[in-house]
Amino acid sequence: MKRRLFLATLTAVVAILASGNLLACGDKYLVGSRGTRYQRPRNARAASIVIYANPSSNMARVESFLNREGHHATTVTTFEQLSSTLSRSRFDVILTATDMAAKIQQLVEGAPHAAVVVTFDAPSRAMLLSAIDKAVERHDHDRN
């Protein structure tokens, strides 16, 4: 009985002393109690985006979200505003609803350095950023 008690005490002491070393190794930023921020890769380029949407839609929140992520977003509400904005400035991406994509594609089709049309039907924010990053890569590849 004394031997079992001695072995249990010895095992507990060894476990307690060894656990201090386990806390010393590894990356301290990944401790569960600390917040970890997941960010876009540093090589992601900021895009110049024009958002074509109805005023009743929630695109104002999308514009502020894209601006916080480092993109330069502008919202237009009519087709005339879109065509005048595209004639004045260059954009990398045009963000629009699916039903207007074909009409906008015809508008930018012959232009040099034409913007890439990306449809937006309320996907998640991560999917939206991924689609914009892919569109910017395609725009840069087409321009070269």
Coarse DSSP helix, strand, coil percentages of the chain, rounded to the nearest 5 percent: 55, 10, 35
pLDDT tens digits, 93-104? 999 888 888 999
Contact between 49 and 66 under an 8 Å Cβ cutoff? The reply is: yes
Asked if the model's pLDDT at residue 117 lies above 80, the reply is: yes
Please name which of 56, 53, 97, 98 lies closest in space to residue 79, comparing C-alpha atoms: 53
Q: What percent of the chain has pLDDT over 90?
A: 17
- What are 119's strand-pairing partners? 96
Q: Where are the domains of the chain?
A: 48-143
Task: Report the chain's mean pLDDT, rounded to a whole number.
Answer: 80
Q: For residue 72, what pLDDT band results from cuts at 50, 70 and 90?
A: very high
Q: What is the pLDDT of residues 20-57, one digit of tens each?
A: 655 555 555 555 555 555 555 555 678 899 999 877 77
CATH class for domain 48-143?
Answer: alpha beta
Task: Say if residue 92's pLDDT is above 70.
Answer: yes
- Cβ(92)–Cβ(115) under 8 Å? yes
**Would you state the pLDDT for residue 76?**
93
- pLDDT, residue 21, reads 53
